[in-house]
Structure 1
Amino acid sequence: MSERPHALVIALTGGVAAGKTAVARRFEALGVAVHDADVAAREVIEPGTGGLTAVVDAFGAGVLDGAGRLDRPAMRRRVFADPAARKMLESIIHPRVRQWLRERALAERGPYCLLAIPLLAENIAHYRWVDRVLLVDVPEPVQITRLIARDGIDETLARRMLAQQASRAERLALADDVIENNGDEPALDRAVVELHRRYLALASAR
């Protein structure tokens, strides 16, 4: 872990339905590379990877669909109902995701890049090598409203999903920069442009 990325590395995080994707898209539109932990989590268990082999070794061949890929809906139901199974799956996937993100950060030759990491607060001990943390923040009632609208779920399930994540206070405590995403689209545009300028300045000063 001693090798330092050439680029300034910003970890982008936020609670569920906070608007991380909207922020990431705006940085990408400015020419900034965004490497997404959710993409990594899919790629590290593609057919032929050591990750998928490890999942099959742990859970059996029944976790695969007809095409030899992980049956994600079935796996999601299984780990949601069984905390031990969830821990086992995370122990396989999370280290591979961290390695995937670090490899991409090390390969970056731009001034800075973003790593989109939804569960950063829960795993911060493994990401001490990032330079800054950018939090997309909204009040919990806004999260709940957005979750209900986005996923078509009821309020009880929305609150349960929030309860499974780090608290808003824990995320705020980690953040170097915060985008308050409870305004309109132009406000979000301005916030991203302002941070883009700041990150370019920080990168050039390294």
Structure 2
Amino acid sequence: MSPTFPGFSVGLTGGIGSGKSTVANLFAERGATLVDTDQIAHQLTAPGGIALGPIVAAFGADSLQTDGAMNRALMRERVFSNPLAKKQLEAILHPLIRSEVDRAAQQAHGPYTMFVVPLLVESGQWKSRVGRILVVDCAEALQVARVMQRSGLPVQQVHAIMASQVTRAQRCAAADDVILNDTDADALVPQVDRLHALYCTLAGQAANQKSNL
């Protein structure tokens, strides 16, 4: 990982199905610049994406769909059943994602930048790069129900994905701030408003300190 990002930044994370994207979009509506590592990964593996050549070289032509994008369902099965395949795919994607994240951070223009990183706690490298870590939290049973409804995955596969992530308690222990997303979207608004105001204040303080150096 490279040094800390320019300006004030927040790392947003949460378990699968916790509602990270919903929360991130609420911050974006209030002016935060979003850098979403999942979106970057999708761009890298979409038709014409720069990760596709190395992926085909490592995993074969069947790693692509007929439209030229990475076959995400097939690759998901491979990496969850084969730790070596998981390491191979990460070795291809992670350096490319880091490069795109750094480029996006340099172009950020909001009062602060929010990095949306599903495996932020697992990576162990983000704590030193961002000013705050924000966790979106909900009950594990709610995570499972949301993912099954959204993605149509069988319950066993959802549990396997969750087992590959840190526990809910570990994630919350790493947080500076927590948003509880266990009811409806209306309950998120006051939580987001409070934290947005805090982050704007912290960003202003950081900018003043920098100007006084």
Which category of TM-score, normalised to the shorter sequence, fits these structures?
A: 0.7 to 0.9
Q: Could you tell me how far apart the structure 1 residues matched to 2:41 and 2:123 are?
A: 15
**Match of 1:198?**
198
What is the RMSD computed on CA atoms of the aligned residues? 2.1
Q: TM-score, normalised by structure 1?
A: 0.88
Q: Could you tell me how far apart the structure 1 residues matched to 2:72 and 2:185 are?
A: 33
**Match of 2:39?**
39
**Match of 1:119?**
119
**Match of 1:25?**
25
Inter-CA distance 202–73: structure 2 relative to 1 (3 Å threshold) = same
Give the Å deviation of 1:92: 0.9
Give the Å deviation of 1:154: 4.7
Residues 97-116 of structure 1 mapped to structure 2, 5 A cutoff: 97-116=97-116
**Match of 2:138?**
138
**Match of 2:13?**
13
**Match of 1:169?**
169
Structure 1 range deviating more: 118-127 or 167-176: 118-127
- C-alpha contact (below 8 Å) 2:12/2:133 kept by paired residues: yes
Give the Å deviation of 1:152: 3.8
Q: Secondary structure at the match of 1:17?
A: coil
Inter-CA distance 163–104: structure 2 relative to 1 (3 Å threshold) = same
Give the Å deviation of 1:49: 4.9
Inter-CA distance 48–160: structure 2 relative to 1 (3 Å threshold) = closer
Q: Could you tell me how far apart the structure 1 residues matched to 2:127 and 2:91 are?
A: 16
Paired AA for residue 9 in structure 1: S
Paired AA for residue 175 in structure 1: A
For structure 2, the 5+ residue unaligned runs are 207-213
- C-alpha contact (below 8 Å) 1:63/1:75 kept by paired residues: yes
Paired AA for residue 203 in structure 2: A
**Match of 2:77?**
77
Q: Secondary structure at the match of 1:11?
A: strand
**Is 2:160 aligned against 1:160?**
yes
Structure 1 range deviating more: 21-30 or 38-47: 38-47
For structure 1, the 5+ residue unaligned runs are none
Q: Could you tell me how far apart the structure 2 residues matched to 1:145 and 1:154 are?
A: 10
- C-alpha contact (below 8 Å) 1:6/1:109 kept by paired residues: no
Inter-CA distance 35–156: structure 2 relative to 1 (3 Å threshold) = same
Q: Secondary structure at the match of 1:16?
A: coil
Q: Could you tell me how far apart the structure 1 residues matched to 2:79 and 2:41 are?
A: 15
Q: TM-score, normalised by structure 2?
A: 0.85
